[in-house]
Structures are given as C-alpha cells and as structure tokens.
C-alpha cells in the first residue's frame, strides 16, 4: 500500500533467507503451510477447521462498552517495518493491560506477515489483532471472502475512551472508516494519517533561493535551475519503491480530472486509464523522467535513493510523511525536511494546487475467527485515545487518525510541513484502494511506471498497458471485485 512505508529493516528484500529447502516447500508443494504437529490425517493443507473457541465476552458496562471478557487473553501481531513495534510494546499493550489487568496480552513484531500468518488463518488459530502491512501483507479480498475479518461497526459506534459523549467514529479522521470498507462492510482500521508530497531540503533550497513551485512551468523551470546547479533534480527508487512515483502520477491525474478519476480506477471502469487526465499526467511525468532524473535510480532501493537526497545529490523525492522519521539517523544537520503538493499540470485543473493524496495507512484488522475478537476491537478503542495516539507519534514520528491528538506535541519540521499541507488541502484530498484490492494491478503499475519514467516509455503505451490489465482483472471471474 502506498499509504505505508517500505520496510527499511530488510535490505535483502522479501527473499531474505529463503533457502532451497523453503523454495521446494513453496514451489512444488504450497501445501506445506500445514501446521507442524498436526495429526497426519488432519494435515491436509486446505483444512480450515480446528482452533479454539471464540470468547463469548463479558458483561457490558460504561467502562467496557464492547463487553470484553476481562480475563480473555489477547494476541497482537505487529508489522515491524517503518514504524517498528515499540509503540505496541511500550504504549498500546500497557494501556490495554491497565484496563484489563487479568488479561494475558501477547505481542510480537514480525516482517513477513503473509508467510507467517497465512498458515495460522488457514489452521483456524489466527492472532486476534494483526497489523497487516508491508510488502508481504495478506490479501484483504481473500481474507474477507473467507470470513476471517471482524466487522468493526460495533467499535465505531462505541463511546470514545477519552470523551464518552462522543462515538469513536466522531473522533477519527474523516474518511478513514470509509477507506477501510470492503463491500460496504467496515473491516479495516487504518491507524496512521498519511499525506503524500514531494520532499526537499528546506535549508538547501533557502540557500539557493529556490521556492516550491505551484504550476508546471514553475516546476520545470525549478528543475532546470537544480540541474544547472549540478544536482539530480528528481527521482525515486525503481528497485522496490516505484509505487511512490505511481502515486504522484495518479495525483496529477486526479488534480487535472477530479478525484473521480481515482474512483473509476478503483472500480475498474471502462476507460478508467485511457482517459485524457491519466494520459496527460503520464505524458508530463514521462517528460520529467526523460530530462530531469538519473536513470541508474531504477536499480536502487528506497533507502539508497533517500540517502542520496540527504547528501544533496538529489533535490526532489516523492514520498509519504513517514520519510523524515525513516531517515532520522541519516539526516545531517544541514538537511531539513519539507514538502510541497504536486504542482498543477494546467491552469484549468479541477482540483486546486493545494490538493493532496491523504489517507489513512497501516491497516489493522481483527480476526473474526480469533479467540477474542471483542478484545481486539477494545484494543483498537484504546489505541484511539490521546495517550495511545501521542505515544505512537512520539515513538514513530508519525501522526495518527485520532483528531487533535498532536495538540501539545512539538513536531519535527517535516511533520509540521506535511500537517500544514493537509490543513491547506481541507476537503480536497483523495486516495485510492486498488493497490490493496487488486495486487495484480499494483504489480503491473509498478512495472509500467518504471518503464514510463526510467525506460523511455510513452504515455500511450502506459495507459494502453494499464487499461489492458484492468480489463483482464475485470473479466477474470477468479478475482474478487470491490466497489467504492
């Protein structure tokens, strides 16, 4: 998901440590996902039975509106990627334990979500709360069609912990709940508030007299100046983070043609890719790729390119607002993160230049077939307290979807800059979901973006290719479809 940072802790990529033996398991027999220790006859990989019984819950009260069994154990699995899992260990789990001292809460941070947890879902013993994020996140469509996801409606209707007069749905960022719906059902809780933009070194720009551009002519003129100064003007990491750039291409398209452009793409509408807005945007970005980048970035990873920016060898880098925190240890004193929204393509763009891709990221789910689904929802309710949200922000440098949670916190400059951009955007924000819904489309778009930007591709080829893939997915009856 573009709303989540690429995992920086795994320089080897997802192939890390895959031996020949694991290959054989995966390749010739996917079925070895069966849990070891299962009885021989019950070891068929596709068996989805077994598991413990679901906790019926305790008595409901003002303190415990969801009716959690205070003694029921709770298991939480966190994707230990860009945000780590300290926030759960040090903040959220203790908050839950304070409320339910008798509950045994087990937390673990892992990176390979799908390979680790898919067998457990399949075996009927899923953990209660999962932060289903990262390159190896589990497919939400597959999870929901298997009835593995807990409907979170009860949580949104429950009173907030901090202010019991308000419902939880009233204290979270507008649109977050809708973004987490699959087929109209609320399954996904995105915890982190994400804003996307183009990042630069405010100190360098001030010293050179460059200013954040708002129009496309401004933008290219600034890129020319940067190039003349001997710095690579613009680039992203093609090896593993091309989705940072496809988000920018689609942002330009949405600004030009309105946010419905993205809705049509999500809904696999006919001609969603071949329309004028996407075509013009692809054309404009292909021109930037042809003139203002370093083609060798195609072979680099996000951390390598981000380091180049910290060294002032690269001026502009598209990313989400986790970037500053991610680069914390590599950022020299001469570097100060700031971002600006993607400049307008034309003067007749449907959305103003301040419009940004803003959404909620870091998708959390509760397992419907887990042992303690009510406890899982209660855990979310406790995450959405000022204490939980501020603790998260302090440890990760990222804002949460809890409204007003950053009051009283001093934010680093980059975070301030992105928060300002989000305020300026107001209601002019947009997002897409296709990357989580249709992994095929995400893979295709990553490759097509690299071809367009670094491989000398054309806008015609880009939109035709993407439309063909979207049409193929639409026709494929084996892929579950979603609408928004």
Partner 1 sequence: MRHGKYRFVASFLAVPLVLYVFYVLWPYAQAFNIALTNWNGFAPPVYVGFANFQRMFHDQLFIKAVEHNLFLLLALPLITVTIALFLSFMLNVGGRSRSGVRTGVWGSKFYRLVFFFPQVLAVAIIGVLFQQILRPDTSGAFNGPLHALLGIGPVGFLTNPTVAMWTVLGVLVWQAVGFYVVLFSAGMVSIPQDIYEAAELDGASRVSMFFRVTLPLLFDTIQVAWVYLGIAAFDAFALVQVLTVEQGGPDGATTVLANEIYRSNFVYSRAGYASAMGVALFFLTLAFAALTIRITRRERIEF
Binder to partner 1 among 37, 46, 165, 333 (CB under 8 A)? 46
If one asks whether residue 329 binds partner 1 (CB under 8 A), the answer comes out as no
Binder to partner 1 among 1, 4, 8, 13 (CB under 8 A)? 13
Site string for partner 1, 238-267 (x = CB under 8 A): xxx-x-------------------------
- How far is residue 149's CA from residue 367's CA, in Å, rounded to a whole number? 5
Q: How many CB atoms lie within 10 A of CB 147?
A: 10
* Closest distance to partner 1 from the beta carbon of 91 (Å): 30
Residue 94 backbone dihedrals phi, psi, to 5 degrees: -60, -35
- How far is residue 279's CA from residue 276's CA, in Å, rounded to a whole number? 5
Counting every residue written for the chain, the total comes to 484
- What one-character-per-residue DSSP string does 247-266 give? HHHHHHHHHHH-THHHHHHH
List residues bridging with 110 in a β-sheet: 79
Which DSSP symbol is given to 186? Answer: E
If one asks whether residue 41 binds partner 1 (CB under 8 A), the answer comes out as no
If one asks whether residue 229 binds partner 1 (CB under 8 A), the answer comes out as no
If one asks whether residue 419 binds partner 1 (CB under 8 A), the answer comes out as no
Residues 461-480 that bind partner 1 (CB under 8 A): 478
* Closest distance to partner 1 from the beta carbon of 76 (Å): 20
For residues 25 and 481, which CB has a smaller minimum distance to partner 1 in the complex? 25
For residues 117 and 383, which CB has a smaller minimum distance to partner 1 in the complex? 117
Residues 278-297 that bind partner 1 (CB under 8 A): 294-297
Which residues make Cβ contacts (< 8 Å) with residue 70, sequence separation at least 6?
Answer: 58, 64, 100, 102, 103
For residues 143 and 402, which CB has a smaller minimum distance to partner 1 in the complex? 143
If one asks whether residue 39 binds partner 1 (CB under 8 A), the answer comes out as no
Binding-residue total with partner 1 (CB under 8 A):
63
* Closest distance to partner 1 from the beta carbon of 58 (Å): 29
Which residues make Cβ contacts (< 8 Å) with residue 432, sequence separation at least 6?
Answer: 250, 262, 263, 265, 266
- What one-character-per-residue DSSP string does 312-375 give? TSEEEEEEETTHHHHTGGG--TT--EEEEPPPBSSTT-SS-TT-EEEEEEEEEEEBTTSS-HHH
Residues 425-464 that bind partner 1 (CB under 8 A): 439-440, 443, 446-447, 450-451, 454-455
- How far is residue 218's CA from residue 342's CA, in Å, rounded to a whole number? 12
- How far is residue 432's CA from residue 146's CA, in Å, rounded to a whole number? 24
* Closest distance to partner 1 from the beta carbon of 263 (Å): 23
Give me the residues that bind partner 1 (CB under 8 A), please: 11-20, 23, 25-34, 40, 43-46, 48, 114-115, 118, 121-122, 136, 138-139, 141-143, 145-148, 238-240, 242, 294-300, 439-440, 443, 446-447, 450-451, 454-455, 478
């Amino acid at each position: 998901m573009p709303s989540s940072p690429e995992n920086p802790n795994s320089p080897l990529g997802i192939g890390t440590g895959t031996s020949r033996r694991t290959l054989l398991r995966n390749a010739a027999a996917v079925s070895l996902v069966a849990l070891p220790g299962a009885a021989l006859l019950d070891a068929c990989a596709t068996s989805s039975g077994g598991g413990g019984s679901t906790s019926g819950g305790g008595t409901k009260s003002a303190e415990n509106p969801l009716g959690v069994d205070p003694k029921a154990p709770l298991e939480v699995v966190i994707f230990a990627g860009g945000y780590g899992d300290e926030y759960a260990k040090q903040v959220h789990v203790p908050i839950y334990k304070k409320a339910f001292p008798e509950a045994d809460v087990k937390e673990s941070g892992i990176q390979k979500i799908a390979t680790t947890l898919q067998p457990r879902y399949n075996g009927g013993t899923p953990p209660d709360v999962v932060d289903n994020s990262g390159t190896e996140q589990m497919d939400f469509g597959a999870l929901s069609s298997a009835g593995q996801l807990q409907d979170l409606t009860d949580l949104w209707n429950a009173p907030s912990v901090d202010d019991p007069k308000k419902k939880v749905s009233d204290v979270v960022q507008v649109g977050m709940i809708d973004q987490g719906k699959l087929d109209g059902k609320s399954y996904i809780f995105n915890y982190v508030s994400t804003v996307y933009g183009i990042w630069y070194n405010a100190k360098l720009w001030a010293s050179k007299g460059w200013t954040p551009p708002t129009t496309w002519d401004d933008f290219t003129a600034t890129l020319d100046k940067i190039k003349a100064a001997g710095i690579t003007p613009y680039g992203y990491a093609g090896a593993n983070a091309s989705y940072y750039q496809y988000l920018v291409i689609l942002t330009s398209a949405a600004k030009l043609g309105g946010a419905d452009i993205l809705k049509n793409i999500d809904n696999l509408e006919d001609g969603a890719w071949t329309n004028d807005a996407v075509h013009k945007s692809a054309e404009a970005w292909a021109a930037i790729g042809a003139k203002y980048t370093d083609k060798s970035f195609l072979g680099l990873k996000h951390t390598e390119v981000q380091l180049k920016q910290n060294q002032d060898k690269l001026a502009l880098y598209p990313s989400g607002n986790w970037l500053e925190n991610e680069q914390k240890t590599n950022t020299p004193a001469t570097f100060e993160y700031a971002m600006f929204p993607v400049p307008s393509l034309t003067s007749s763009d449907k959305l103003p230049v301040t419009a940004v891709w803003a959404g909620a990221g870091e998708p959390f789910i509760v397992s419907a077939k887990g042992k303690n689904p009510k406890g899982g929802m209660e855990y979310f309710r406790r995450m959405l307290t000022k204490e939980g949200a501020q603790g998260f922000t302090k440890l990760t440098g990222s804002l949460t979807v809890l409204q007003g949670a950053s009051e009283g916190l001093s934010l680093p400059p980059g975070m301030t800059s992105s928060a300002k951009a989000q305020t300026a955007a107001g209601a002019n924000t947009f997002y897409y979901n296709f990357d989580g819904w249709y992994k095929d489309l995400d893979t295709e778009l990553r490759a097509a973006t690299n071809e367009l930007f670094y491989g000398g591709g054309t806008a015609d080829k880009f939109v035709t290719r993407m439309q063909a893939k979207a049409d193929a997915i639409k026709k494929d009856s084996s892929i579950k479809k979603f609408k928004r």
